[in-house]
Amino acid sequence: MEQYSQLYSVYDELNESYDYDSLARFLCNTIKENEKTPTSLVLDLACGTGKLTFKLREYGYDMTGIDLSSGMLSKAHEYAINNGIGDVLFLCQDMTEFELYGTVDACVCTLDSINYLTKISDVKRCFSLVHNYLIPDGIFVFDINTPFRFKEIYGCNDFVLENESSLCAWQNEYNEKTKICKFYLSIFKENEDGSYSRYDEIQKEKCYKKTQIEKALLECGFEIITIYGDTDKKIAENTDEKWYFVARCKK
């Protein structure tokens, strides 16, 4: 089922405070520190509305963005057209089944997109495809939400995201046995006449142990360079909310 079937229309507005500049700077610096040849072609896997894709383009990378949500990609295309950007390729594909026209030098996958793969077999399928399309020694950087975040932050807690014209009521239900967290979203969007339309959807994320992800990377042909606990590059700890994996494609 397509993620963000309704949320895409208000996603950027509700996340307008997110620091994409810092994330892009972290990714660019991490790639440069670990690349063995200059990086030119970069894949942004699960790119959403392209906010990060466009930021990385500003660093001089030739960008391709892949996302399963046609709604998210429509927002990316709209931004590209309105800003005269014609050199970013966006593809509507599943991150476990995608196809590219050739290899890339690096791949990034952020904003807990890997957690949306709720089976470890799907994680491995994704990693195998990334490995297939990366050049030898190409860099793969991605993040996941940690067990600490699922248990202590998400849990069965409720959140509200809002701005002047939109609101998202977000209820969590984390199952410790299955390691699945369900997000029940109710989205209220203001219409031109001042009334509001309501949309509801359910999303799921899977909680993975660090060792599960490490094993999957190794089985798919990657060398793990490091794991950070934040974009300031502190070493990962069990109390981190996110882990940032940096891996090298070995062929």
Confidence of residue 1 (pLDDT cuts 50, 70, 90): very low
At 62 the pLDDT is 98
Ranges in the chain annotated CATH 3.40.50.150 = 7-145+209-249
CA distance 164 to 147: 33
Give the pLDDT mean for 32-51. Answer: 97
- Side by side, the strands of the sheet bearing 242-249 are 89-92, 62-67, 41-45, 104-109, 134-145, 242-249, 222-228
Torsion angles phi and psi, residue 41, rounded to 5: -95, 125
Q: Which of 124, 115, 90, 77 is closest to 218 using CA atoms?
A: 124
Fold of 7-145+209-249: Rossmann fold (3.40.50)
Contact 140, 134 (CB under 8 A): yes
Q: Which residue has the tokens 């069965």?
A: 156
> 96, 129 in Cβ contact below 8 A?
yes
The pLDDT tens digits for 162-201 are 777 778 888 999 999 999 999 998 888 888 888 888 888 8
**Which tokens hold the place of 148?**
């600490």
Query: May I ask the CATH class of domain 149-206?
Result: mainly beta
How confident is the model at residue 153, as a pLDDT?
Answer: 92
Task: Give the residues across from 143 on adjacent strands.
Answer: 244
Selection from 68-72, 97-101, 166-170 with the highest mean pLDDT: 97-101
CATH 2.20.25.110 in the chain, residues? Answer: 149-206
